[in-house]
Amino acid sequence: DAGITQSPRHKVTETGTPVTLRCHQTENHRYMYWYRQDPGHGLRLIHYSYGVKDTDKGEVSDGYSVSRSKTEDFLLTLESATSSQTSVYFCAISTTGSPYEQYFGPGTRLTVT
């Protein structure tokens, strides 16, 4: 258990509304990640962070933004939610100095109607 929590755990929202998902860690790990999981696609990286205010895009970053103002919190924002963003979102941290070994939060199930 790497002390990772995600909030909310479940959310239903309407198309066009903004949504923010929060990932919180208690162990001051430098690297944090946001993934989405969809059937038949495995996990796909949305954005990641390698320190406070240092973030970069993953393979499916369109329609998403992130912020990291504190080491312990990594926020994922959907500026204007679409039905294609219905998914399960996982936050992860890396305990080493490189993104080789990750530990995952419990996930957030987001439904966009």
Partner 1 sequence: AQSVTQLDSHVSVSEGTPVLLRCNYSSSYSPSLFWYVQHPNKGLQLLLKYTSAATLVKGINGFEAEFKKSETSFHLTKPSAHMSDAAEYFCVVSAMGRDDKIIFGKGTRLHILP
Chain residues binding partner 1 by CB under 8 A are 40-45, 90, 92, 98-107
End-to-end C-alpha distance for the chain, whole angstroms: 33
Q: What is the DSSP string of 5-19?
A: EEE-SEEEE-TT--E
Closest separation between CB of residue 17 and partner 1, Å?
25
